[in-house]
Every structure is written in structure tokens, then in C-alpha cells.
Amino acid sequence: MTLSRSSRPGPLSDLIVVDLTRYLSGPYCSLLLADLGARVIKIESPGNGDDSRYVPPGEPGNSAYFMSINRGKESIALDLKQPADRAVLDQLIAEADVLVENFRPGVMEKLGYAADTVMQRHPSLVYASISGFGQTGPWRDLPAYDLVVQALSGMMSINGQADGPPTRVGTSIGDLCAGLYAALGIVSAVNERRRTGKGRRVDVAMLDCQVALLESHYMRHHVTGEEPGRVGSRHPLITPFDTFACADGYVVICTVGDAMYRSLVNAIGRPELAEDPQYATPLARLQNEPALKAELERHFYTAGRDHWLKLIGEAGIPCSPINSVAEMSDSPQLRARGLFVDCESGDFSFKAVRTPVLVAADAPVAGAVEHAPRLDQHGAHIRAELADTAG
């Protein structure tokens, strides 16, 4: 008998993941795998477990923050200083397809679970590591959090208003994108293993991931020699493609190319702006962006955002109000997609967001409830499974 596979539906339901992660980047990676069907067994320290269990809001020890990124997983508490608990982890690794960890480089070696050693013992294992700076390079041993890698990568230098200070992206994008790239690396390595029978080491650095998200900014700097700066919400290469103030709030409007620009100015009743030499070509509009934005906003101030969004939307131009989180939560589009799920642990429940991947147009299950594990909730069951396997 072997450790049972996942009872969750999904394309990864044949995978068992040993999850030695905590905080955000690693747990987000394993959450993606769990949402796609994998059985994820989270290893926690006895006593407190993952420190994110105590990040508010919610119940200390099982906070909403912890639950939102650890739902759908199992928890077993193991003290890796104790031989009996190390034996349990050894058995789990022997049964697993994937091991994922996000300690600082060197910690797994000190624990006796260095990648080379573990993979030599289990050649088919995919061993994934997420860290601030990766497993190589002069900075490999330095600590890093999301804010540090946003600063080092150049991300903060391009985020914010032109006349304001460098600004952190308003979510922990450094952690989240590292988790995303790690999940991609794991799935790629598993796919290769189906052909070769051999596992891979996956090495993901938060800093690398942030630089990869700079999109055109890195390219433009090396092509033009210019230093990309902060431009607020507008597109650095296309205009009008920005936020615009109306009489009662803000809207975003996105035009690309002459045809869409002409459609915009015709829809809002300013067709003369299409013939003005200052705005007649994409380059001219970009060079005269401040004047064009001021011209448009003077016109938009004459009515509210619903008025303008109706006219612009009917012209086929991408546009939107700027929603608050509360307004977004009422979106009929997101509800129709089944993006929100109920998350529970004991008597505590709240709304969470599922992994935004629908495979083969799977319909979300109405009223589905996701459960987050209490510390060591599944420990006895997992130990019993392993005992049956050994027997």
C-alpha cells in the first residue's frame, strides 16, 4: 500500500507534494498546486506552526491570512530534531512527487535535507526551492522580503506618480510571482519526468522574478539609454491610455492606434481632436500627452463617469470605472466565473479567491467550501497511512 493520492479533482490529482514552506511565496506556490488537484501535505513545527497563522485578521493560530493561502492542504507537525519525526518526513519524501521549500539557502542542508542528498536518494523527486536571491550568486545567503526585492529590482522606481516618491506595488507581488514561477517550474519538471523518469531541482529567486516582470522597461533602457521613470497610471508608450478624472470620480480609458483614438474622440463629442496636428499620430499624441490629457479631462468634468463609460463602451473602446475592493467583490462577471470560494476552519469562515485557472472549462461548484487545516489536524491520519505503507 502507498500513500493515497488526492481526492480533489484536477489535472495534478496524481501528485503528492511535501510542503516545507511558510509565510507567503512558498505557500502560494503549493496553494496553486492544491487548487489544481495535488495532495499537499504541509509540514509545520509543533507549537506555533507557520508564523503566518498569527497574521491578522482572524483567530490567532488560524488567521484568515493563513487560511487564505493554505486552504485545501493537510497539516502535520514534525519536530525535525527528533529521530521519530525525521523518520516520518523521510517516509513522506519517499512517497512524494514534489518537495517545495522556501528557507534561506543553507537551512535545508543544516536540517540534513540538502537537495543533492535527497535527490540522490530519490532520483524521481522534483525538489523546488524559493528564496530571495536563489541558490547561487554573491547574495544567496542574504535575507529578503517582498519590499526588498521590489526595491532592488527597479520595480519601485517605475511605480508611483511622476512627482511622487518610489512606491511599492500595493500587493506582495515579489512573493506572489515567485510562487507562480515556482509552480510553473514544478509542473514543467513533472512533465519532463514523465519522459525521463528523473526529477529536477527547481531554483526560483524572488529578485529574478521581479526583474522578469519589468516588461518593456529593461528593453527600452538598453535600446534607448533612457532611464525609465514613474508615469503614474498611464502607458509609457501609448496615449491616451490612462486614468481620467470626471465630475464624480475616475475612469480608465485605453486606446491603441489611430482608429481607436478617432473612435474615442468621436464618441465623446470632440471629433476635432482627431484632426489637431498635436494629436494626429501616435507619436504626436505621446509627445503631447500632458496637453491631450488636460483637454480630455476638461471635457470629462462636464459629466459623471457613468455617462462617459456608456458612450465610450458603446464605441467598443476598453474602459472601466476604478473599483474599490468592495465594488469588485460585487462583480457579476467574477461571480459567474466562480472566483470566490467560502473558506472555513472550525467555526471561522470567510470569502477567499480561488486559483484563477479553469481547466477544460470546468464549471465552478456552486456553494463549494474550502477548508484550511488547523495545526497538525491531519497528523494522526498521515502517520497511520505511513504505518500501513511500511507494513
Range of the domain at 268: 241-323
CATH code where residue 317 lies: 3.30.1540.10
388: pLDDT strictly greater than 90:
no
Establish whether 371 is a catalytic residue. no
Strand partners, 76: 43
Q: Which of 221, 235, 299, 378 does the annotation list as catalytic? A: 235
Q: Which residues contact 308 (CB under 8 A, 6 or more apart)?
A: 246, 251, 268, 300, 319
Quick one: 141 and 274 in the same domain?
A: no
In a domain, 223, yes or no: no
Query: Within this chain, do residues 75 and 204 fall inside the same structural domain, yes or no?
Result: yes
pLDDT the model gives residue 1: 44
Question: Other C-beta atoms within 10 Å of 369: how many?
Answer: 11
234 in any annotated domain: no
Same domain, 93 and 161: yes
Q: Considering its fold, how many domains does the chain have in total?
A: 2
Helices (H) and strands (E) in the chain, counts: 16, 14
97: pLDDT strictly greater than 60:
yes
Cα(325)–Cα(329) distance, integer angstroms = 6
Question: Is position 5 within any domain?
Answer: no
CA dihedral (149, 152, 153, 154) in degrees, to 10, reads: 130
**What is the C-alpha to C-alpha distance for residues 230 and 159, in angstroms, rounded to an integer?**
5
pLDDT tens, residue by residue, 334-348: 998 889 989 988 778
Which residue reads 521549500 in cell numbers?
Answer: 101
Q: Which residue has the cell 522574478?
A: 209
**Positive or negative CA dihedral for 157, 24, 353, 349?**
negative
Element at 70 (helix H, strand E): helix 64-70
Same structural domain, 187 and 300? no
Q: What pLDDT score does 268 carry?
A: 97
pLDDT tens-digit readout, 14-30: 999 999 999 999 999 99
Q: CA distances (Å), 83 to each of 75, 105, 352, in order?
A: 19, 23, 38
Residue 368 has pLDDT above 90, yes or no: no
Residue 28 CB coordination number (10 Å): 25
Burial bucket for residue 314 (CB in 10 Å: 0-12, 13-18, 19+)? exposed
Residue 227 forms part of a structural domain:
no
Among the listed residues 366, 373, 375, 377, the one whose alpha carbon sits nearest the alpha carbon of residue 342: 366
Q: Is the dihedral of CA 221, 225, 228, 231 positive or negative?
A: negative
pLDDT, position 228: 86
